[in-house]
Every structure is written in C-alpha cells, then in structure tokens.
Structure 1
Amino acid sequence: MDRAGAETMLMNLYRHTDRNKIQFDFITFTDETGDYDAEIIALGGKVIPIIASNPITRMLKLKKFLQRHPEYTIVHAHMSLSNAFHLLAAKNAGVKHLISHAHSTKNGKRGIVEKIYEKWALITNRHIATYKIACGELAAQYLFGTTRNVLLLPNAVDIQEMVTVAENSRDYINREFSDNGLKIIQVGRLYKVKNHTFSLKIAEELKKRQVNFTIYIIGQGPLEKDLKQQAQDTSLLDNVKFLGLRTDITELMASADYMIMPSLSEGFPVVLVESQTVRLMTIVSKEVPAEVDLGIGLVDFLPIDSAVEWADHLLENKQSNISNEEIINVLKSGGFDVALSAEKLAKMYMSL
C-alpha cells in the first residue's frame, strides 16, 4: 500500500488500534510492493494483491477471495465511487458488514460515461452499505446524500508527535538543501486533480519577478515525466525540485514558508491537518471544501484562475503567532487526535 492521503490516514489509525482485538488486512490492486507494506506485515497485518484489468474482473476476483475466506466479517472500502464494486463483491460473497468510507467531495470527471458511472456508483453505495463513514460533512453529502446515520471520522494525526518533531525541524530544509530563499512545498500524487501545472505557472511568475525561491514537489505519479519536461521547457529546474516519495513530510512542512494546494477537487486531505498541526501557512484552491480550515489562521483560499494572484499572496510572507498549545486544543476538540479516532472506529467494529 503506497504513501498517499487515504493510505496515510489508514496507517495512522492502524498504528493506534489495539491489534490484540482487531486486525486489519489490506486488499490492494497492484502486485508492486507498496511503501507501507513492510510496516503492515510487521504490525501483524496482511497485504493481499488482487490483480485485474478492469473493475468487473476485479469485483469477481474479490468475491471469490471473500468466499474462500469467510473469516472476514467486515469489509471497509476506501475508494469513494469504486466502493460500489467492492461492496457488491462482499455482499455477494456473504459478508454481513459493509462499510463505505467517503474521502472525496466530487468526482471531478465530466464526460457522459463518467456521469452515468457516478450516478450508478452513488446509488449503489447508498443502497448497499450497511454502515457509512465520512472524513467530513461535505464528503458525506457527496457520497451518501446526507450526514444522517453517517459516522464523521476526521482524518486524524498523532498531534503531540508531529508538534514535537516540527519544533526540532524548523531549519530542516536549510540543512538538507542549503536553501535560504522562499520555501514552498506541495504534497500529493502527481495526478491531474492536484493541478501541478498551475504550480509551475506560479513558479514562472515568481521567477519573472526575480524572487529567490524553491518549490518542493513531494509525491509520485503518472504525470512525473510530463511535469519535469514542463519545468525544463520553462527553465524552472533550478527552482522546482521533484522529491518523489518522502518519509520526512513533517520535517519538510515544519521548515517551509508555505504549502500550496491548487487542486481541482479534494475531500478533507490529511495533509491539511498535518500542515496546520505544524503551523505551516497554506494557500488552498477554492475548489477545496472550506471545512478544511480549522479556524486558526493558517489557511487562505484563492481561485485557480490567476498564478499572479497566488504569487502575490506568497510574497506577502504571512506569519502566525498561534501557540502549539492552542493548536493542540483546537485539533483535539475537532476530533483530529488519532488515538481518539482509532478508539471510536474500534468501538464501531466491536459493536458489529
């Protein structure tokens, strides 16, 4: 299982779950070794690859697997619209408890076929799931059409650990990269929905103004080659660093000046919980739900129609005076403490 938003959230929960009572096994749809696979196995879990060329074949293979393994009494699906396929497979295999977990607030695809699929998947999710969970109210409204009888489980983090690491890492980028300019990071898979092409336009605008800056792009994905070529074609390779997958996200966040998220759509990304935990100023697309702003003055929203406006905002170099104690209190009261979230989820599992 690779290192991404929903996967990171799952691992946060898994690490804080009493594994003497509850064990997670993970179905993946690739035969490649994932970033979290070794840790999952070390914690007593299994990573079970199901390889198929299309969703229907995948559904049939998942059904056969679950029929062969009746010990699995709960299937918890985390792939938004695709939950429909996986819960159908589980239902037809005789699994009693079917959990659909909403992580997104929109589909982001506009073709006729995609719209038909979206409508079918939404109806199926709402009809077949015996239990519903969402990372936020807007994600619940999108996938289930309501927040009623939906467990709201915010994308939680280990607050105290992150705060401690952050306070010891304020000069991390300077030490690792000898960078004393404006330090900007973007964290996310290199997919169209993350809108990295817009980030490169921001970089062009900053370079035009002769700003000393670096944008650190963290993540991997199918657009990596194209984005690197775009950076090369616009003479940005000295200002844009592609770091790939990293295990030092907290350290990088703690020592950056800004994080940017010009996404075309999002649910409630865990990376925005992380950025606010470490007191990182963040500029976010107006396509991202307003509920991601925890009200502590660290998130600003901008439209994604002008790289000039984003560059202007970055050069304001805003600072926050909020204390760690205030942040911890806000996060805990908002349900973002992973220990409490893991306990809440465990109670739900044990009640089934």
Structure 2
Amino acid sequence: MKKIRVLQVIPALTLGGISSVVMNWYRHLDTHMYQFDFISFNDGPLRTEILALGGNIHLIPTIKQKPFEHLKALNDILSKEHSYDVVHVHNSFKNGVLLWLAKRKGIKVRVCHSHTSGVENKFLLPFMGVFKAIVMRASNVHLACGKQAGEFLYGHKPFTVINNAISVQRYLADSNDTREIKKQFLLPKHKKLVLHVGRFSLVKNHQFLLQLAQNNALDPLIHFVCVGEGPLKAEFAEKIQHENLQGRFTLLPATPEIPHLLQSADAFIMPSLFEGISVALLEAQAAALPCLISNTIAQASDMGLDLISFNPLEDLSPWLAQLNKLPSVNLTSEKVTQAFFTKGFSTESVLAQLTDIYNSCDIE
C-alpha cells in the first residue's frame, strides 16, 4: 500500500496547544502507512522528535513577516515531485493562501481545522468575512476541535468535530513521591500548588491570576505555578515584582514535564477569555485535579468526572471560595480512562476518524 504523505501546518514546534495535539497523532500512527511533514513558523523543542519519527520540517516566515518569501516557500514545497496527498492546516483562517495554493497544485485532500472560538487580535475582525470565505472555498474537509470552534469558523455550514484526544495514561495520578519534581522546579514544599498551563497571551488572561493573588481573602497557602512562554511573559513577571507577589507565583518555561507537574499540583486554573477544547484542561482532568475555569470555555471540555467548576470572570468570589476550600479527589484510574473513552477523547477513536479522512484521496 502506498504511503500517504500529509503536510501538517502548525504555528510552532513548541510544547503544548495545537502542536501537542498533532504530535499525539503522530506518535500513535503507523509510520509505515503515513508520513507527516510539517510547515511551521517558529522553531522549538519538537524538532528532534519529529525528525526521529521520520518527518521533514519546513520552517518558513509568516505571510505578515515576509510575504514574498512566504509565498515562494509555499510554492516550492507544494511543487515538489510526488508532493503531498493531504494538506492539514491548523491555523485555520490565517492560512487561506496556503489552502488556495494547495488546491491550484491539485492536492486532493485539503483540511481546514478550527482550534479556536474567537479572535485574539481584534484588528483582524473587519477581515474575518474574507478570511473565512477563502478557507471555505479552498478546503474540502472542514474540521473543528469542538462545536463552538466549528460554528465560529464555518457558521451554519457542515463540519466534523475531531476531539483533542490525549494519551490519558501519561497523566493519570499516581502515588509517586513528588518531592523530586518540586525540587527540580524550586516549588514551595508546604504550599497548595495551583497550576496554570498556557501561552502568555491576552486570551489566557493571566491578569486574572494577579487579581486573585492580590485579594486579602485568598488563603495564604495558595501558590500559582504558571507554565509556558509567550509575548506577555516578561510583562507579567514585572507586574509580580511590582505588586510584591513573588511569594504567590512561580513562572516556569514550557516543559515536557507537564505530567509530573500536574501530579504534584493540588488544583488547576484556567481563566481564559475564550477557549475551545483545551488540551491542558483535558490533561488536568486526566490527572484528577480540581479545575477552576472560566464559563467562557467550551462546556464540552468537561469529561463528566465532577472535577470542573465553571466560574464568571466578573466575580472573584466563587474563585476565592473554591481556592480556599479545595476538594479532595478520589477517582480510580479506571474511571478516568473510561470517561475519556466514553466522551470520544481517546487516541484510538480520534485516529480512526483521522485516517478515514486521510485515506479519502478521491475527494473532489
């Protein structure tokens, strides 16, 4: 059987988010049957693993950074002999040109995948109608990570939901001693650790954590651990210093040690302004952590394990009350695993959907 060549288009080769979802697929696919190559706009630590799995990487500038270099690179990549059977774009509306060029080059399966339910950069709002029209016409498979993300990009037109599945076994809570991971990341030993995993950007709303930390009603034992990179990280660190909140926060870089950090935490928090199906939130539930999240996050993120509380961003009171009285959780690994399987967030069910799409090279 001919190996199917798939070009994955992702924002960055960094840990977490979209990259984490796609790499989870790649790790579990039969690499004798499917070849993943990548277009990315930012390098990162996933490079080594991709190359080890047999993938090729095309690191190119964005169309905003260098439009002519961007277009030339796309043309060269898509014009190669024995090019790709599938182009799978994860930046959705930002890569209409790439999808349009793939259509012109005769690539049969052109996948547009929506991973967000909103626009972070408000200056893009006036152009969204045009962006959406281009990607809809240039692609012939319309996917979304959830109902809200799909309706955001495709409106009332049909789309297929592909859940952001995770490898649940990697995150299951265990009884291992957490002293070593706390020592590695210089985490306080006798505090209640509340973990946040996400890019330091406006949509992740780290500012809300500052508001909680400044509130005198918050239990003095609560300590926020924020993991990630991003354009607002330095500014956030400065605010912590300015408000003299160093005792409330530890900022960590993006790291592959997320499973161990989750297992060492007492709770997970996510006050995002908007969010589709968050991979980080799924991982936190797999680790059986109480999850305090904003009510702007997709309800479908809840695996039904009674771990999540949806709270309004306009009122600190419920957040403070729950942080001050974190529940003890007693869930078996079997119950957690079954919940993810039943909800369709297991790797096996998602790969079955995905390979059906990739095998449809006769789509017109």
Q: Does TM-score exceed 0.5, indicating one fold?
A: yes
Counterpart of 2:233? 224
1:273 and 2:285 aligned: no
Counterpart of 1:313? 322
- The counterpart of 1:16, out of the listed 28, 44, 47, is 28
C-alpha distance 110-51 of structure 1, shift in aligned 2 (>3 A): closer
C-alpha distance 288-59 of structure 1, shift in aligned 2 (>3 A): farther
Counterpart of 2:54? 44
Counterpart of 2:6? none
Q: Is the 8 A contact 1:108 1:265 kept in 2?
A: no
The alpha carbon displacement at 1:151 in A equals 2.8
Counterpart of 2:18? 6
Q: Whole-Å Cα distance in 2 between the matches of residues 15 and 339 of structure 1? A: 12
Segment drifting more, 56-65 vs 225-234: 56-65
The count of residues paired between Structure 1 and Structure 2 equals: 344
The alpha carbon displacement at 1:219 in A equals 0.2
Residue ranges of structure 2 left out of the alignment (5+ in a row): 1-12
Segment drifting more, 327-336 vs 118-127: 118-127
Corresponding letter in the other structure for 1:171 = T
1:351 and 2:360 aligned: yes
SS of 1:167's partner is coil
C-alpha distance 263-209 of structure 1, shift in aligned 2 (>3 A): closer
Counterpart of 1:144? 154
Q: Whole-Å Cα distance in 2 between the matches of residues 121 and 251 of structure 1? A: 40
SS of 1:318's partner is coil
Q: Whole-Å Cα distance in 2 between the matches of residues 270 and 253 of structure 1? A: 13
C-alpha distance 317-95 of structure 1, shift in aligned 2 (>3 A): same
Cα RMSD, aligned residues only: 2.0
The alpha carbon displacement at 1:211 in A equals 0.9
The alpha carbon displacement at 1:296 in A equals 1.3
Corresponding letter in the other structure for 2:178 = D
Corresponding letter in the other structure for 2:25 = L
The alpha carbon displacement at 1:46 in A equals 1.0
Q: Is the 8 A contact 1:81 1:143 kept in 2?
A: yes
The alpha carbon displacement at 1:319 in A equals 2.6
The alpha carbon displacement at 1:78 in A equals 0.2
Q: Whole-Å Cα distance in 2 between the matches of residues 46 and 233 of structure 1? A: 45
Segment drifting more, 226-235 vs 264-273: 264-273
Corresponding letter in the other structure for 2:311 = L
C-alpha distance 154-209 of structure 1, shift in aligned 2 (>3 A): closer
Segment drifting more, 62-71 vs 276-285: 62-71
Q: Which runs of 4+ in 1 moved over 4 A?
A: 172-176
1:84-119 CA distances to partner (integer Å, 9 max, x unpaired)?
Answer: 2321232233323210011111224444xx222211
Counterpart of 2:223? 214
- Superposition map of 1:254-273 within 5 A: 254-273=263-282
1:122-171 CA distances to partner (integer Å, 9 max, x unpaired)?
Answer: 222222211112111221111122473x33211111122332xx314463
SS of 1:3's partner is coil
Corresponding letter in the other structure for 2:329 = S
Q: Is the 8 A contact 1:169 1:251 kept in 2?
A: no
Q: Is the 8 A contact 1:264 1:285 kept in 2?
A: yes
C-alpha distance 285-95 of structure 1, shift in aligned 2 (>3 A): same
Counterpart of 1:299? 308
Segment drifting more, 126-135 vs 6-15: 126-135
Q: Is the 8 A contact 2:218 2:320 kept in 1?
A: no
Counterpart of 1:167? 174
Q: Whole-Å Cα distance in 2 between the matches of residues 169 and 103 of structure 1? A: 34
Q: Is the 8 A contact 1:9 1:157 kept in 2?
A: yes
Q: Is the 8 A contact 2:87 2:109 kept in 1?
A: yes
Q: Is the 8 A contact 1:183 1:214 kept in 2?
A: yes
- Aligned residues with identical type, % of pairs: 28
1:99 and 2:94 aligned: no
Q: Whole-Å Cα distance in 2 between the matches of residues 333 and 316 of structure 1? A: 30
Q: Whole-Å Cα distance in 2 between the matches of residues 212 and 258 of structure 1? A: 13
1:248 and 2:260 aligned: no
TM-score, length basis structure 1:
0.91
The alpha carbon displacement at 1:242 in A equals 0.6
SS of 1:25's partner is strand
- The counterpart of 1:130, out of the listed 140, 149, 156, is 140
Residue ranges of structure 1 left out of the alignment (5+ in a row): none
Segment drifting more, 9-18 vs 301-310: 301-310
Q: Whole-Å Cα distance in 1 between the matches of residues 279 and 157 of structure 2? A: 20
